[in-house]
Amino acid sequence: MKISDNDIVITSWGELCERLYDNSWKDRMGRFRTDYAFRGVSEKEYQLKNRFLRNCGDKENLEYHLLRNFKKYAMVETTEALTSDWRLLTIGQHYGLPTRLMDWTYSPFVAVHFATVNLEKFDYDGAIWMVDFVKAKELLPDSLKDVLLQAGSNSFTVEMLEEAMPMLSDFKALSDKNVTLFFEPPSIDERIVNQYAFFSCMSSATLIMDDWLMHNPDIYRRIIIPKELKWEVRDKLDQANINERLLFPGLDGLASWLQRHYYPGK
């Protein structure tokens, strides 16, 4: 059931699984491969605002100072990894710094986890945003499309971005239009690996991704998880071991999982 051209309200666990893998068969490969990046939100009304925008509002100049001081005060063993703006952004995002990056995942079920993990939001419909990053690359400036073409890739690595545009200011200067790219972070720790992590980055720290997507409706869709289905979806994810214990390795993830696992329920 659709409530708009890009929104689909699912009515069962089975339909959710089917919709997450729509159009994933690739004739050329003879395999199933989805072209979507996934992001789960516990309320469908949440805007796709990055952490910098939520923290600093429209004060775009504060991004420079955040990154400068993060690099200055980082522990000595970390500074060797902070050799470019892209590495500063990546590591800063990973440790909670307000950055222009937004977390996505290649895994549809990891996204469903984040849409259903907050028990305080079980009275609200959740949503899974799905962005076709293969189509999205066609909206990039030619110089960036050439980088991907030469690498035979649909998404960037940090090394590719460092070579193409070492400074964040270089990114904004590439086009007079709003631009969004997707890149894979290096495997800093188990959390990034287990979450099958993927980042989006817009050409300005104060852009809202919803607005960009509304101008490019053919590259995204949104699956709505009604509040009435959240408990069933949550319980079945836990049974499949998609939970905090796996996605946040360590005692903090274990404690979060146990806290929710032993919640009395509705």
Amino acid (1-letter code) at residue 164? A
Is the pLDDT reported for residue 266 higher than 70? no
Residue 101 lies in a domain: yes
Stated as kind and residue range, the H or E segment containing 90 is helix 85-94
What is residue 1's predicted lDDT score, i.e. its pLDDT?
Answer: 43
What is residue 3's predicted lDDT score, i.e. its pLDDT?
Answer: 53
Cβ within 8 Å of residue 235, ≥6 positions away: none
Average pLDDT over residues 133-140: 95
**Which class for 7: exposed (0-12), middle (13-18), buried (19 or more C-beta within 10 A)?**
middle
Count of CB atoms within 10 A of residue 146's CB? 12
Residue 244 lies in a domain: no
What is residue 84's predicted lDDT score, i.e. its pLDDT?
Answer: 86
Average pLDDT over residues 74-85: 71
Q: How far apart are CA 213 and CA 19, in angstroms?
A: 19
Residue 122 lies in a domain: yes
pLDDT band at 76 (very low <50, low <70, confident <90, very high): low
pLDDT band at 256 (very low <50, low <70, confident <90, very high): very high
Average pLDDT over residues 221-242: 96
Residue 159 lies in a domain: yes
Domain of 109? 7-24+33-239
What is residue 73's predicted lDDT score, i.e. its pLDDT?
Answer: 87
Residue 260 lies in a domain: no
C-alpha triplet 12, 15, 19: angle, nearest 5° = 140
Residue 263 lies in a domain: no
Average pLDDT over residues 84-90: 90
Write out the E strands in the chain.
Answer: 7-9, 25-26, 31-32, 36-41, 102-105, 126-132, 156-157, 180-184, 197-202, 220-225
**Structure confidence by residue, pLDDT tens digits, 13-43:** 999 999 999 989 888 889 998 999 999 999 9
Domain tally, the chain: 1
Q: How far apart are CA 243 and CA 94, in angstroms?
A: 18
pLDDT band at 259 (very low <50, low <70, confident <90, very high): very high
Integer CA distances (angstroms), 115 to 48, 80, 104, 226, in order: 13, 35, 12, 11
Residue 262 lies in a domain: no
Residue 254 lies in a domain: no
Enumerate helices (H) and strands (E) in the chain, giving the number of each: 15, 10
* Share above pLDDT 90 across residues of the chain, in percent, rounded to a whole number: 76
